[in-house]
Structure 1
Amino acid sequence: MLKKITYAAAGVNIDTAEATKKDMAKNLETGNPLVLNKIGAFSSLCDASFPGYKHPVLVCKTEEPGSKQLLAFKHKRIKGICFDLINHLINDVIVMGATPLFIQDLIVCGKLEKDVVGELVKHMAEACKAQGCALTGGETSEQPNVLAAGTYVLGASCIGVAEKTKIIDGSAIREGDIVLAIESSGPHTNGYTLIRALIDQDNTILDAEIADRGKNPAPKKFLDLIMEPHRCYFKALKDLFKNPGLHGMAHITGGGIQGNLNRILPAGLDAVVDASKIKVLPVFWFIREKSGNDDNDMMRTFNLGVGMTLVVSPKDVNNFIVHMKKHDLACYEIGTIVIGGSQSVRIEGKLKW
């Protein structure tokens, strides 16, 4: 007979898991009238009647914050990585002209630490509430020997709703439309495999001070700049969803402007972006200097200071710029839509470092 091994001895403590679930429940949404059932059910029931929508369409997305989460746990930036996850997720939903409604999280870990998991759920719930949507539940999985103790892998899914006739998918984009850039807060959640490789070579760069420009001229440490949470654009953009001059939106993530703006271009149209107009954030100059990457590699890896692009009719350009300024966001022209056959983004000019 084999030696007796309990589940706890094998690495999973059910008592700890149950206590953690009870603690997490405090932060889950209970006051949202669209959430119909109690916390602790096998799944969440959400009301699918949408007053004010003639033909509601559900918009679904799953996301994770990439390898930035390794830095977040190492440097105790748990709140920031939770906002990274939720904000990135919501941005991918709103580019369809959708309003985010419900979010479910996923936390996978090597060893379940009650305080850490509780903090994760608390801050994810805060990030959801900040954008007016509900964290309704999710899954927490302890997997010893699959992940090392202290290692966490996060993910989340979102369901949003859009009016079918008001979906913004790029199909309204026309020749002559203008491409607008909206500023990012930093690398957001992309390029961190390269950033971590730089840190592995020389971790003293974490304390390097980098002079910012514009609203925050005081120098900041490299660590603080790269851990700045992913900016969410929902509050700034939601009032524009019904504006007929808004023809397309592209969230600039992995692949940069070229790898994301092309995803919304209709057949027969290309975008021409003038790189010299991009207002590159100083943190990217620092990364370029330390990594030795050329401009092309930098543009394919990072957002370079452009977190979202809008494609708008020429007559509405100024209105959109003024609107974003009211939300304390820099918005400016970087390109135009032209006749083409490859639905591609062509880069002209050179980045100004």
Structure 2
Amino acid sequence: MNEQFTYEKAGVNIQNADETKREMARSMDTKDSRVLNRAGAFASLFEANFEGIKNPVLVLKAEEPGSKQLLAFQNNKINNICYDLINHLINDIIVMGAKPEVVLDIILCGKMEKEVVVQIVDAISKACKEQDCSLVGGETSEQPKVLNEGTYMLNASVLGVVDKEKIIDGSKIEAGDVVLALPSNGLHTNGYTLVRKLMEEKPEILNETINGESFIDAILTPHKCYYQTLKGLFAVDELHGLAHITGGGIEGNLNRILPSGTSAKIDLEKLKVLPIFELIKRYGNVPDSDMMRTFNMGVGITLVAKASVVGQIQEHLAKNGCESYVLGEIVSGDQNVLLEGCVNYAIY
């Protein structure tokens, strides 16, 4: 008899996928009445009703956690990378003053392992709920021989909303404004290709500890989310700009919100560099210029505000568990970030 080919024999078990999706649906349960259908529908229905917002502007972003996810899955830090994905994604929209509303995720894998996929969805859903939004759907795709068995690739997109009159886009930034630094809690989700190369070439770095944590645990700390800290400041008119410090560092992200006729002058001697960055620099003999372009260097968000409200803003941040410090000022210029002084790797 001729050999029979089935989808399962080709590498995809539809029954396993269906069972997995039924378990995923429980994690996605939400009390938000604006979500009008259940998980498993062909698309997600979300009623566009935004309380207290007169002129809603939708804020959209897609994100993936980069090569950090390879290390996370290798070291059984699945929950961590799910929080990385959502926290990075939400940070990218809140810097415009937006409230996150709903998230869609995509899980690509070489083979659908039910327990792993359910854990991923559960962690993503929990990360969303912690930031006042809901995971409402997405796609889980099993792709044998495209991805190796045991390999996962995650990404997600978010829909947020902001009142048109309250958008924070940097357009109000002017000379004399102050630049505040809001500390990061580690590498967040950038620079991991360099770190993985360093681990390959200098494996002894894996024996290091940072503040009592192993090197692996330190670099796989989830990306900090700033929404709960910052949302109470969105109505402050004198808050002129927010920049999420990701790939490109301070220089490559703060410049994205500078209006014409302004530049930002940053005092590197005030930069509070986390110990993990000193370790990476020392083991890799990484030039300062590369460190500043590749990593956040201890700054997760830069906040630009009128000098007269800086004290008020810092007090609010401190009450919400986020210490901040003055890192620089806005001057006249050509939308450049001017880095002055030298980085002190022993300051923090």
- With the shorter chain as reference, the TM-score category is over 0.9
Deviation at 1:64, TM superposition (A): 0.5
What residue in structure 1 maps to residue 341 of structure 2? Answer: 349
Does 103-112 or 3-12 show the bigger shift?
3-12
What residue in structure 1 maps to residue 68 of structure 2? Answer: 68
SS of residue in 2 equivalent to 1:62: strand
Taking the aligned partners of 1:263 and 1:116, their CA distance within structure 2 comes to: 38
1:283 aligns with 2:276: yes
5+ residue gaps, structure 1, are 213-218
Q: Is the 8 A contact 1:61 1:158 kept in 2?
A: yes
Q: Which residue identity does 1:257 align to in structure 2?
A: I
1:293 aligns with 2:273: no
1:243 aligns with 2:236: yes
Taking the aligned partners of 2:298 and 2:321, their CA distance within structure 1 comes to: 15
Taking the aligned partners of 1:112 and 1:288, their CA distance within structure 2 comes to: 39
Deviation at 1:221, TM superposition (A): 1.5
Superposed, 1:174-213 pairs within 5 Å as 174-210=174-210, 212=211
Q: 1:323 aligns with which of 299, 313, 316?
A: 316
- Give the % identical residues: 54
Taking the aligned partners of 1:195 and 1:2, their CA distance within structure 2 comes to: 51
Taking the aligned partners of 1:283 and 1:338, their CA distance within structure 2 comes to: 31
Instruction: Give me the CA root mean square deviation.
Output: 1.1
What residue in structure 2 maps to residue 256 of structure 1? Answer: 249
Please, what TM-score do these two structures have when normalized by structure 1?
Answer: 0.96
1:130 aligns with 2:122: no
Q: Is the 8 A contact 2:174 2:330 kept in 1?
A: yes
Taking the aligned partners of 2:207 and 2:293, their CA distance within structure 1 comes to: 26
Superposed, 1:1-353 pairs within 5 Å as 3-210=3-210, 212=211, 219-341=212-334, 343-353=335-345
Q: Is the 8 A contact 1:207 1:223 kept in 2?
A: no
Deviation at 1:28, TM superposition (A): 0.6
- CA deviation vs aligned residue, 1:51-98 (integer Å, no higher than 9, x gap): 311100000000000000000000000010010000000000100100
Does 321-330 or 283-292 show the bigger shift?
321-330
Taking the aligned partners of 1:335 and 1:251, their CA distance within structure 2 comes to: 16
What residue in structure 2 maps to residue 216 of structure 1? Answer: none
Deviation at 1:2, TM superposition (A): 6.9
Taking the aligned partners of 1:26 and 1:190, their CA distance within structure 2 comes to: 32
Number of paired residues?
345
Taking the aligned partners of 1:53 and 1:15, their CA distance within structure 2 comes to: 44
SS of residue in 1 equivalent to 2:27: coil
Q: Is the 8 A contact 2:202 2:283 kept in 1?
A: no
Q: Which residue identity does 2:62 align to in structure 1?
A: T
Please, what TM-score do these two structures have when normalized by structure 2?
Answer: 0.97
Q: Which residue identity does 2:297 align to in structure 1?
A: L
Q: Which residue identity does 2:316 align to in structure 1?
A: H
Q: Is the 8 A contact 1:276 1:352 kept in 2?
A: yes
Q: Which residue identity does 1:281 align to in structure 2?
A: L
Q: Is the 8 A contact 1:109 1:151 kept in 2?
A: yes
Taking the aligned partners of 1:287 and 1:224, their CA distance within structure 2 comes to: 15
Q: Is the 8 A contact 1:176 1:337 kept in 2?
A: yes
Deviation at 1:323, TM superposition (A): 1.2
Taking the aligned partners of 1:56 and 1:78, their CA distance within structure 2 comes to: 35
